[in-house]
């Protein structure tokens, strides 16, 4: 068990009707925690690095190389994914580093431009043997640019997948990025309609704002890859804050960051168990 391609994790999950947890990495402790949680759950997992995290580190190589190293040492299958990349040079850098997949996000563009740009990036990635995710419908909340009421049309989704050749599709069904409360209401009927319209796995972004019973229901209705970031950041920050409050004289980052790492590992293991419930209408 070690570093694998994202398709090696997501495709079997689609066929068996199970959810795959995809968790964002901001720093090394996140990568270590997610893998520890996956090992505790004895489940495969996807480590994601967003374009915003790349900017924070000043480039993809430092955090990307560290995350790939953590994945290679894991006792369970781990994939490393570039999330929400809107810049082609960043995609190309991920391919050179050995990422297992990229999410190219041109959803803020008009439909025809999104179609063209995504098809070009998909061809580039497939030439390197790398799995590609795209977004259609503008999931709310990211950088304030997306319409919160946007929804993905199933017929357009089928056309988009057919023209671009992407391997997975992130869809807008009621979730929103960076939510601090679990109050998002998903359109489960729309998820089922999208699942019937396209053959590739569906991806739910903004899952931190979705109540956990609804997350499980989303898998039952046809979601496969479930992206979670803000919820883990809340767990990490809360544990660090509690540790520093308990010992105001503490200055060793290894001590308080370890508390955050342990909290994230616990949440990852728990969430992977939640997402493992089988979908009764799994793909053949």
Query: What is the C-alpha to C-alpha distance for residues 282 and 97, in angstroms, rounded to an integer?
Result: 34
* Sites in the chain below the pLDDT cut of 50: 140-148, 178, 180-181, 279-284
pLDDT for residue 139: 53
pLDDT for residue 221: 87
Question: Residue 129, SS3?
Answer: coil
pLDDT for residue 1: 59
Distances (CA, A) of 23 to 88, 110, 117, 198, 232: 23, 29, 26, 24, 8
pLDDT for residue 37: 98
pLDDT for residue 180: 46
Query: What is the C-alpha to C-alpha distance for residues 5 and 44, in angstroms, rounded to an integer?
Result: 11
**pLDDT tens, residue by residue, 167-210:** 999 998 865 554 544 555 578 889 999 999 999 999 998 777 67
pLDDT for residue 44: 97
Alpha helices in the chain (DSSP H): 6-16, 28-41, 51-57, 60-72, 88-97, 111-127, 154-164, 188-197, 212-221, 230-246, 253-275
Q: For residue 280, what is the DSSP state? A: T
Q: Which residues are catalytic?
A: 83
The pTM (predicted TM-score) of the whole model is: 0.90
User: Which residues lie across from 168 on neighbouring strands?
Assistant: 133
pLDDT for residue 193: 93
Distances (CA, A) of 207 to 90, 175, 236: 25, 7, 17
Domains of the chain with bracketed CATH: 6-275 (3.20.20.70)
Query: What is the C-alpha to C-alpha distance for residues 105 and 135, in angstroms, rounded to an integer?
Result: 6
């Amino acid at each position: 068990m070690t570093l694998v391609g994202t398709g090696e994790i997501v495709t079997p999950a689609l066929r068996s009707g199970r959810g795959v947890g995809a968790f964002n990495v901001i720093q090394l402790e996140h990568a270590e925690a997610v893998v520890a949680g996956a090992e505790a759950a004895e489940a495969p997992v996807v480590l994601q690095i967003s374009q915003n995290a790349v900017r924070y580190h000043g480039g993809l190589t430092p955090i990307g190389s560290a995350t790939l190293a953590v994945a290679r040492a894991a006792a369970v299958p781990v994939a490393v994914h570039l999330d929400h990349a809107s810049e082609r040079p960043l995609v190309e850098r991920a391919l050179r580093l050995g990422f297992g997949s990229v999410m190219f996000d041109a959803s803020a563009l008009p439909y025809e431009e999104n179609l063209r740009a995504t098809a070009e990036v998909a061809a580039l990635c497939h030439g390197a043997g790398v799995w590609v995710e795209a977004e259609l419908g503008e999931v709310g909340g990211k950088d304030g640019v997306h319409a919160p009421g946007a929804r993905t049309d199933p017929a357009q989704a089928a056309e988009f997948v057919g023209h671009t050749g992407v391997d997975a599709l992130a869809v807008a069904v009621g979730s929103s990025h960076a939510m601090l409360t679990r109050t998002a209401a998903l359109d489960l009927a729309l998820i089922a309609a999208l699942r019937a319209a396209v053959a590739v796995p569906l991806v739910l972004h903004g899952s931190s704002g979705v109540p956990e019973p609804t997350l499980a229901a989303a898998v039952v209705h046809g979601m496969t890859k479930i992206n979670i970031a803000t919820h883990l950041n809340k767990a990490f920050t809360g544990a660090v804050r509690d540790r520093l409050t308990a010992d105001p004289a503490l200055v060793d980052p290894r001590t308080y960051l370890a508390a955050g790492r342990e909290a994230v590992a616990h949440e990852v293991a728990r969430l992977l168990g939640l997402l493992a419930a089988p979908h009764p209408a799994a793909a053949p």
